[in-house]
Structure 1
Amino acid sequence: MNDKERDEPSRDGAEIEEGPDSVRRGLLKMAGAVAALTLAPGVTVFARDLVLKGQHKAKGPVRYGLLIDARACKTGCDACVRACQDYNGLSHDPGPDNAQWIRKVTITDEKTGFTRSFPVMCQHCAHGACVDVCPTGASFRRPDGIVLVDKHRCIGCRYCLMACPYKARSFVGRVVKDQRPWAPRGKGTAEGCTMCVERVEAGKLPACVAACQKAGHKAMMFGNLHDPKSAIAVRLSEVATTTIRADLGMAPGVHYRGI
């Protein structure tokens, strides 16, 4: 059924001022004085304060989320996966060193043999474990519900990878070339689905949702869960849905129908 948990403001992890990492955090504090840092030619990461307090902050009662209808998701179709890879500059090779911000999974009822195939990505939880365990506050939740990683603060501890029950985070273990300006992938940092935040702020759909609609499957909906007049909120009020591992109490922003 639909989750009705009330959202709470994100809780940043406390900074630890002892040990060798304190030097890096000191540099990050200095870096916070500027609005953005350039990691490579054409690749710029906006500072966290700008994302939270400046022009990128969503206005009004917004909680962005997804509704995925597994009944309409076609087995063998990977349009959403490829769209994410192409848009964010990820490799199509599913090797262990290559990230997948969204992946297709198949579940099977052992008794009946009935199967469902559907995409899984960062669930953009209201009370995400990745945010709770992050020692530097690098994993954070925006006021509009989108969960991101601040590359300035990430120290590569990988706590978020271990804490996420959805296996939605990955680690950049090598230098990445030909990066997309909107999707910087610095070596030694964690990463995951950003819900195509820059597309959302431009009034567009996330790449995965747009690709699914273009393929004619209409298995994915995106919108403001807090707007009762939005198409996704209306749909959620009409049909029975669930969230993956709802028992954990993390209040995911991604809802599923038919699983």
Structure 2
Amino acid sequence: MSAPQPLESQNESAQVKARRGFLGVAAAGLVGVMLAPGIRLIEIAQAATVDTSATGANPKVRWGMLIDTTKCTPGCSDCVKACNTENGLSGGTKSTDSQWIRKIEIKEVRTGKTQSLPVMCQHCAEPPCVDVCPTGASFKRADGIVLVDKHLCIGCRYCMMACPYKARSFVHEPLDNQKPDAPRGKGTVESCTLCVHKVDRGESPACVSACSAAGHGAMEFGDLNDPNSDISRRIRDIQTTQLRADLKLDPGVHYHGI
């Protein structure tokens, strides 16, 4: 018969078992996330949507944008400059710099017709970036604006791979001179926020305001859920399309003329 262990050894043994038990539970949780991300991540995303409604996001509203490419000229970058200024972006002076909105040129193969249009986060009703995020950092507000919580983002960049619009950027370097309304951070992912800080004050995104101030009138912002809003009436009156509508993500950005 073995001699009883000293009390100190018994306590140490209990601590080891407790640690093993905790690690086992943690490992099981991680396996659950890895094996069934759809269920877990959708639940997180839905929880985030519900929580944000208490902070000012109106679930009856769906904010969106209409871009008239027939009024968007190839050499114009007013919307891009406005976005950079409002959110403290450098303007793409380096290949690793963030771009929340960019101008692209498209060409119709059959006719040779070229068009210029701005592309940013499309603020999808079914955002794939939210579905693949392992921490819930990517989330959709109750009013349809898709955002990234920098406190939860671990920089895995799954959302960047999932986005069919290449609308997200990764912050590679330390940042300074940041804007109080647009917090950013090294090692995190970011994208167009529709200038959510301005929207919550009853204003339009910086890109839309700049386009209007310059007299172009190519961008319009408003509530897609309100049938009487200017943007809803115009979408009914003219032919519009959504980028990669075949993916059935229901983007909040509509385009006319493409």
TM-score of Structure 1 vs Structure 2, range by shorter chain: 0.7 to 0.9
Partner of 1:62: 61
Percent identity, aligned pairs only, is: 57
Which is bigger in relative contact order (C-alpha 8 A, separation at least 6)? 1
Count of residues paired in the alignment: 216
| Root mean square deviation, CA, Å | 1.9
8 Å CA contact retained: 1:51, 1:57 = no
Q: Identify the residue that residue 72 of structure 2 maps to in structure 1.
A: 73
SS of 2:129 mapped into structure 1: helix
Distance 1:120 1:53 in 2: 27
- The TM-score normalised by the length of structure 1 is 0.79
For 1:232 and 1:57, how far apart are their aligned partners in 2?
22
Instruction: Give yes or no for contact 2:53–2:142 (8 Å, CA) kept in 1.
Output: no
Give 1:50 deviation, angstroms.
10
What code does the residue aligned with 1:186 have?
Answer: G
Q: Distance in 1 between matches of 2:125 and 2:49?
A: 20
C-alpha distance in 2 between matches for 1:63 and 1:210: 19
CA distance in 1 between partners of 2:86 and 2:51 (Å): 21
SS at match of 2:231: helix
Amino acid of the structure 2 residue aligned with 1:208: C
Q: Give the secondary structure class of the aligned counterpart of 2:184.
A: coil
| Residue of structure 2 equivalent to 1:194 | 193
In structure 1, stretches of 5+ residues that fail to align are 1-15, 22-47
**1:181 matched to which residue of 2?**
180
In structure 1, C-alpha distance between the alignment counterparts of 2:93 and 2:85, rounded to whole Å? 14
| Corresponding letter in the other structure for 2:124 | C
Partner of 2:214: 215
Mapped contact 2:59–2:142 kept (Cα < 8 A): no
Q: Which residue of 2 aligns with 1:251?
A: 250
Deviation at 1:230, TM superposition (A): 0.5
In 2, are the aligned partners of 1:106 and 1:116 still within 8 Å (CA)? yes
- How many Å separate the matches in 2 of 1:254 and 1:143? 17
Q: Which structure has greater helix proportion? A: 2
Counterpart of 2:70 in 1: which secondary structure? coil
1:105-130 C-alpha deviation (Å, 9 max, x unpaired): 00012332210001000000010110
Gaps of 5+ in 2: 1-24, 31-47
Q: How does 1:90-169 map to 2 (within 5 A)?
A: 90-169=89-168
Is 1:94–1:100's contact at 8 Å kept on the other side of the alignment? no
The one-letter code of the counterpart of 2:229 is S
- Residue 53 of structure 1: how far off its partner (Å): 4.3
Q: Is the 8 A contact 2:242 2:254 kept in 1?
A: yes
Alpha-carbon deviations, 1:197-251, whole Å to 9, x = none? 0100101110000000011010000000000110001111111100000001111
- Partners of 2:99 and 2:137 lie apart in 1 by 20
Q: How far 1:95 moved relative to its partner?
A: 2.2
Partner SS for 1:179: coil
TM-score, normalised with respect to structure 2: 0.80
In 2: Cα distance, 1:153 partner to 1:117 partner: 36
Report the residue type matching 2:256 in the other structure. R
C-alpha displacement of 1:94: 4.0
Provide the C-alpha distance between the structure 2 equivalents of 1:155 and 1:69, rounded to a whole number of angstroms. 36
